[in-house]
Structure formats: structure tokens, C-alpha cells
A and B are shown apart, each in its own frame.
Chain A
Amino acid sequence: MTATTLTINNATAVPMQEVPSLPVNDFRDTLLELVQQQEHRVSAFFGLPASPAGLGLELVAVLNHPEDGNCKLARTVVKDSFLSLTPECPAFHWFERELAEQYYLEIPGHPWLKPIRFQPPLPGSGGSKTTTTIPNLTVGDTDYFTLEGEACHEVAVGPVHAGVIEPGHFRFQCLGEDVYSLEISLGYQHRGLEKMLLGGPDRRTLHLLATASGDSSIASTTAYAQLCESLDHTLQPEPEALLLRGIAAELERLANHVGDLGALAGDVAFLSTAAFCGRLRGEFLNMTAEICGNRFGRYLVCPGGVNMAFTPAQARKVLTWLQRVMSDVDNALELLFESATVLDRFEGTGTVSTAAARELGLVGPAARACGVNLDLRHTHPYGCYTLSAPAQAADSAGDVLARASVRRQEIAASAAWLREQLAGWQKENRRHRSTPRLAPDMIAVSLVEAWRGEMCHVAITDADGTFRRYKIVDPSFHNWFGLAMSMRGEQISHFPICNKSFNLSYCGHDL
């Protein structure tokens, strides 16, 4: 039997030719078999114009399994239609909606085929332009799931929200105070990022990726740097550079988890922890700025290494700082998790079942809170995590409390790991500068565990070694539907804490 997929390690590249190009039915069967029978995750499923031009659309799938530590690649070429996998395998639903939108691909059989970003099609989209799958491009103007009857009412929220947050549109179908369903319509933050990456890398590329999702700059630039390093073997980051990327990534995780637990406290009016954590989040951002000058780590990671030198004296300074801040964090969180009024609101609220989490392909803390055992730092170790990684968090209840508790565990684990790494920082690393020269006609996959979960970048180069396609799958892409699920049957007043317990990225999704 010929191979239906190609297995590669995380953060490596192979010639595109080596990925088996299957007849479309075999491609479907392979994906269904791997995801349904063998518990694989869908990390990416996307299209690009087939080469040579005019052949149609090439579909590429990247799957991974938490236990075997590698990635499986498969591809096929379709003309202008692809029979939906979603009815059998819900994890594909969002990817297929994206494909239909980006390339005017007809996807018969999809139960809810509508735009996810309201973006114009990407260059080279095949198919007939008169297709009915994408009826219009006015953002938010689409059919929504509705309920009719005397007891029903609809609550529409956004795109502009009450606070200082990103835009998105939420439609709640309610029966009295209870939410029957929530539909989330995004795309307001769409700024054409994937389109701008085509033909790169150029002087903008690193900066574009740093802004894919502004609170996950380290994760995103690390994913990009790893891709470049797999496609250009002259780029060999030294171990200190890899470790500094890890240190920055854990500071990023700490800042966001601490900030979110504070925000959760604020949403149940537990103001002490809300106030303390708001300030403490900033301390972690300032530690990142101590390393690289920018609170979000914008200029730290670059292909081939890191852009900043970190001295042992600075490491000692950050270590002392971290000890002091962590003592306050522990104190603020103890207060939160010991308060009966808080626990009463968190416990049993916004539950997502293990089965739903698996079927939808949730990632990160949201998945770990549902008893799904996923953490790329352990399952697909990359960079410095091949040597050691912060302990993996786990819970099984799937509710707001479980998501909060997983975050708390991760705060403790990351802080412990950071203390160890900072204490062992003996010599100054070298700064690196270079322009990547990528190998032609390759495909490279890079998976990193961002603070929200699995982030997948895939690059496909053309004959000149420039990006023929650069696919970003932000963790939020997997998790937005999880938030919608968590609200089913919940009181509408629980939306703020369900939302904060996920705290998903609009811009990372909208790209």
C-alpha cells in the first residue's frame, strides 16, 4: 500500500513533492480515518492555488497526535468543489468555512457554510465567481441561527463592545434568562495579514507576525523563526537564544494568565484580586521589557536566534523581581480561590464536556480544563523545551473554575521553571541578525504552545524560495466555538465570566 500521509517532526521542512498528493476520495478517507479512529487533531487545513496555475486548488492538511510527537501531512487537488467532512468530523467545520471564503470553494454538505471573516478571496482563487456559497461581503450581514416563539428573544452584542476590547458580534438566542444558543460572528479585525505575507520573507514579515495577535507576539515570532530555521540551514540558533525565547514565552504566559484571572475576579465583583492582578500583569510585561525594551517582546525573537543580549546580571535582576512579584501573585490568587462567593460563581458554570472539546478540537488551557491531555511543550517539544518544560496542568470539570484552575497551575509551573532557568543563566547570549534565504519548493510546519494553546504556522515556498502560502492557525481559531458551546443552557449573565475564562483573540482569528 502506498503511503497516504507524510510524517515529519515539528519545526522541520520537506520538499513539497514528497507529500503524497491523493485522489480527493482517498484524501477524505485518510483524514476521516486519522481524526475519527486514531484521535488525531487537525492543526491546519487550508488551500493554495495548485501549481502550475489553472489546475485548481490544492488542499493541504496538517494533523498531529498528542502521543507520537510528530505531524502528518496530506494533500489533494480539487477543481471547485469539496464534499464537506464536517458532518462526520466537526473539527473541520471552521477550516471549511475559511476555505470556502478564501478561495470561493464550494463545500456541499457543510451544515452552516458562511463567511468567518468577510474577507475578499485570496489571490489565485479558483472556482466560478458566481458561486452562491458566499452571498455578500458586508461584515456581519449574514443569516443567523434564530429561534421563534413567544418565550424567545434575541440579544445582539457588538461589534463595538462596552469596554476597551476588540470588536466582534455575538447573537444570543434566549429562552427567558437562559441562552439556548450563541452564535459568534467575527472578521472585524481582518487586515489581510496572510495576503501580505505572500512573496515574503521581506523586511515587513517579522513585524507582521509580531502583530498577528499582539498579546502572543513571542509565540507567533517563535513559530515564524522556527519555520525559517527549518527552511534555511545556515540559521542555527545557539542554545542560549532558544532558552531566551522560552523565558520570554513563559513571561508572556504569566502576564496573560495573571491578567485574565484578575479580569475574571473583576467580573464577579471580587475587586481585591482584580485590582492586584491588574498591576501584577504589568510587572511581567516590564520584565519582558527589561530583556528586550518592549513590553510585548516585539523585537526579541528573530530567524536564527534572538535580537537582544541578556546578561547574567540582568538574569539575576529579573529573578529577584520574579520572586517578589510571585509572592504577591500567590497571595492575590489564594484570596480568589478561597472565596466562597467566587467559587460559587465559577463552579459548574460554562461547562464544556470532554467529548465536545475533543470533537471540536479545542486547544490550550481550555482543552486541558476539559481533561484533554494536550501541551505541545511536552508532546511536540521544540526549542529549549526539548531539554525541560514547565509541568503540564490538568483538570477535568470543563467549567469556568477548571479553566481558572488550569491557569493558576500554569502560573505556578511557569514561575518555577523560570526561576530555575534564570538562576542557571551563566553567560551572555549572542545577538543575531540575518536575512533568511529559504529553500525552494518546500513545506515547513511549526507548532508552538502559545498561552492560549496550539499555534500552527505552515509555510510553502515557491521555486524562488519565497512564500507561496503562509498559513497561520491561531489557537483562538480552534476555541471560539468552544466559547459558544460553554454558553448553551447558561444564564446570559454568565457570559462575561465564560468569555474571560477563554479570553480569545479576535485579531489572531481574523488575521
Chain B
Amino acid sequence: MFTVLKARLKQGYQTGKFPPAPPNLPEKFQGRPTLVASQCQQDCQACLEVCPTAAIVQNEGRPDRIDTGKCLFCGECAAVCPGKAISFDPKEYRLATFSRQGLLDPQQDSAPPEELQKLCRRSLSIRQVSAGGCAACELDFNVLNTLAWDLSRFGISVTASPRHADCLLVTGPLSRNMLIGLQKTYAAMSRPKWVIACGACAISGGIYQDSSECCGGLEEIIKPDLYIPGCPPHPASILDGLLRLMGRESGTRSPADS
């Protein structure tokens, strides 16, 4: 007992100050991508050629914007762009949206579901289902339950039974072999119920969007209420999305000089 207490003292208090303080992000963090079409060089297709997930949306045959629902945040496009038209904001982790459209244009995002905010503002139970994920989304969602993030202080819990869940959080491109498992889990949840697509795979199929063994994400199967981009999303992006879904205060953008 004494050694346990001594160890506890040594390990110290480790829960992060996010939120409301900004999270500690690595210097090379690839946050929100921006494409300034006016900086594009004439007839240049370099970014389109390297993007592994066809995340760059074109307008009249020219790169126009980046679909964060498909983007892997690998930075290949920014690296090859001769006009420096593409950049990833290393401080902007707040990427979650409430509509698929919002991932293309944050200005056009819809509002979070009102009923959820009324019922679940202080307590949200989540049932997670992995459907063809590579385990990275699962791991970085799990991280929120460690003492570094301490998810339960926000009233958010992960539940084993779908009967107890308010939200279904899905990871992975939805492998055909998990389709029934996912649909049964969703059917077992009582109403009202909401759905979260966590990671590029769950949103759009991600790198597996062309696979004949996957369904290309959740969009066509069960319409999500919250979209969390990333491959995998940083824990701060996931937590920010969950808090805003509940209508609670989240963190601010990391200051540029931190």
C-alpha cells in the first residue's frame, strides 16, 4: 500500500488542461488544410496526382478545395505544390462538423442536433463499433479514457451495451463482413439515437474508398450526426467534436507562439 502511494506521488497529476486551454499538439501537426486556388499555377495537376484518396475537389478542372472527409492529412499535396497553394494549419485541430457538406466548406455546416443537446448536455453514453478500421482510430479514441484526458469528467462514458448508448461511434470503412454486426448494434439502441463517424474511413471509406470489400464509409448506410476527420483523428479533435456535439464549451485554437 505504501509503495502504491509513493508511486502515485512520483507519477504526479497528469490530466491535461484541455479544454478550455488549447491542447499540446506536436510542432509538425497536420491540422486543417487550406487550398488557395488563386495561387495555383496554370494547368498544374501535381496535387491531384499525388493525393491518395482523391480528396482535392475540382472546380472547372482546377483544384478548388480539400474535402477533409477524405483527406488523410499526409501532406503529400502541400509538398508537391509549386505555388505553395496548400497548407496544413499546425494549430487547428477543431475539424469535426455536423454535416458532410461542412467537411467541404466549414461555413456551410449545419447545427448540431437540438434534441441531443437537450437530453445529453451533461451525460453522453457511447457505444463504439469498429468496422474494418486499422485500430488507430480505436486506439486514439481509447486514449481519451486514460488519465491524460479523463473523458469521464465531461460526463462522457463508453458503454458495452448498445441498449445503454445514446451515440454509436463508428470507425473503419465499413467492411462488408461487419455490415450486419453494425446494423444489429444500431438496431439494438433505443431512440433517440445518434451516430458519429470517426476518421476518414468511416466518413468516406478513406484509403479504402475503392475497395470491393468495403461499403465506402457510413454515409450511405446510416447517416452520421457528427463527422470527425483525420487518419486517425488526434484525440483533441475527437474530444472537441464530442463536446461541441453536446453543446458544451470546447477549447480554443492553439496560440501561434506556443
Contact A296 B28 (CB under 8 A): no
Give bound CA distance, A207 to B73, whole Å: 11
Contact B146 A214 (CB under 8 A): no
Give bound CA distance, A214 to B132, whole Å: 11
A129 interface residue, CB < 8 Å from B? no
Contact A159 B134 (CB under 8 A): no
Give bound CA distance, A206 to B212, whole Å: 19
Given known A-B contacts A296-B232, A331-B10, A507-B133, A159 and B29 have beta carbons under 8 A apart = no
A332 interface residue, CB < 8 Å from B? yes
In the complex, the chain A residue whose C-beta lies closest to that of B10 is A331
Contact B147 A162 (CB under 8 A): no
In the complex, the chain B residue whose C-beta lies closest to that of A276 is B11
Contact A289 B134 (CB under 8 A): no
Contact B8 A164 (CB under 8 A): no
Bin chain A's interface residue count: 35 or more
Contact B175 A295 (CB under 8 A): no
Q: List 19 A-B contacts (CB under 8 A).
A: A119-B213, A139-B178, A159-B178, A160-B185, A163-B158, A164-B141, A164-B142, A166-B135, A187-B177, A189-B172, A192-B212, A195-B211, A279-B146, A282-B148, A290-B28, A296-B139, A299-B74, A335-B4, A506-B135
A120 interface residue, CB < 8 Å from B? yes
Contact B136 A296 (CB under 8 A): yes
Within 8 A of A (CB), among B42-81: 49-53, 72-76, 79
> Which residues does chain A contribute within 8 Å of B50, judged by CB atoms?
203
A174 interface residue, CB < 8 Å from B? no
> Which residues does chain A contribute within 8 Å of B176, judged by CB atoms?
190
Shortest C-beta distance, A305 to chain B (Å), equals 14
Partner of B146, one of A192, A206, A212, A275: A275
Contact A188 B178 (CB under 8 A): yes
Shortest C-beta distance, B212 to chain A (Å), equals 6
> Which residues does chain A contribute within 8 Å of B14, judged by CB atoms?
279
Given known A-B contacts A204-B52, A272-B4, A282-B146, A165 and B208 have beta carbons under 8 A apart = no
B7 interface residue, CB < 8 Å from A? yes
Within 8 A of A (CB), among B204-256: 207-208, 210-214, 231-232, 234
A500 interface residue, CB < 8 Å from B? no
Contact B207 A211 (CB under 8 A): yes
Give bound CA distance, A338 to B4, whole Å: 11
Within 8 A of B (CB), among A412-427: none
A196 interface residue, CB < 8 Å from B? yes
Shortest C-beta distance, B89 to chain A (Å), equals 12
A23 interface residue, CB < 8 Å from B? no
In the complex, the chain B residue whose C-beta lies closest to that of A256 is B139
Give bound CA distance, A160 to B186, whole Å: 12
In the complex, the chain A residue whose C-beta lies closest to that of B214 is A191
In the complex, the chain A residue whose C-beta lies closest to that of B137 is A214
> Which residues does chain A contribute within 8 Å of B175, judged by CB atoms?
188-191, 510
Contact B213 A120 (CB under 8 A): yes
Contact A213 B129 (CB under 8 A): no
Contact A211 B28 (CB under 8 A): no
A278 interface residue, CB < 8 Å from B? yes
A-B residue pairs, 8 tightest by C-beta: A214-B136, A293-B28, A214-B134, A278-B146, A192-B213, A162-B160, A289-B26, A211-B134
Give bound CA distance, A338 to B1, whole Å: 12
> Which residues does chain A contribute within 8 Å of B73, judged by CB atoms?
294
**19 further A-B pairs in the complex, CB-CB below 8 A; given A165-B138, A292-B28, A296-B139:** A120-B212, A160-B185, A164-B138, A166-B135, A189-B172, A192-B211, A192-B214, A206-B52, A207-B52, A207-B72, A211-B136, A214-B135, A214-B137, A275-B146, A289-B28, A291-B28, A296-B136, A338-B3, A505-B135
0/1 string, A114-125, CB within 8 A of B gives 1: 000111100000
> Which residues does chain B contribute within 8 Å of A332, judged by CB atoms?
7, 11
Given known A-B contacts A214-B134, A505-B135, A164 and B128 have beta carbons under 8 A apart = yes
Partner of A190, one of B29, B132, B180: B132
Shortest C-beta distance, A158 to chain B (Å), equals 9
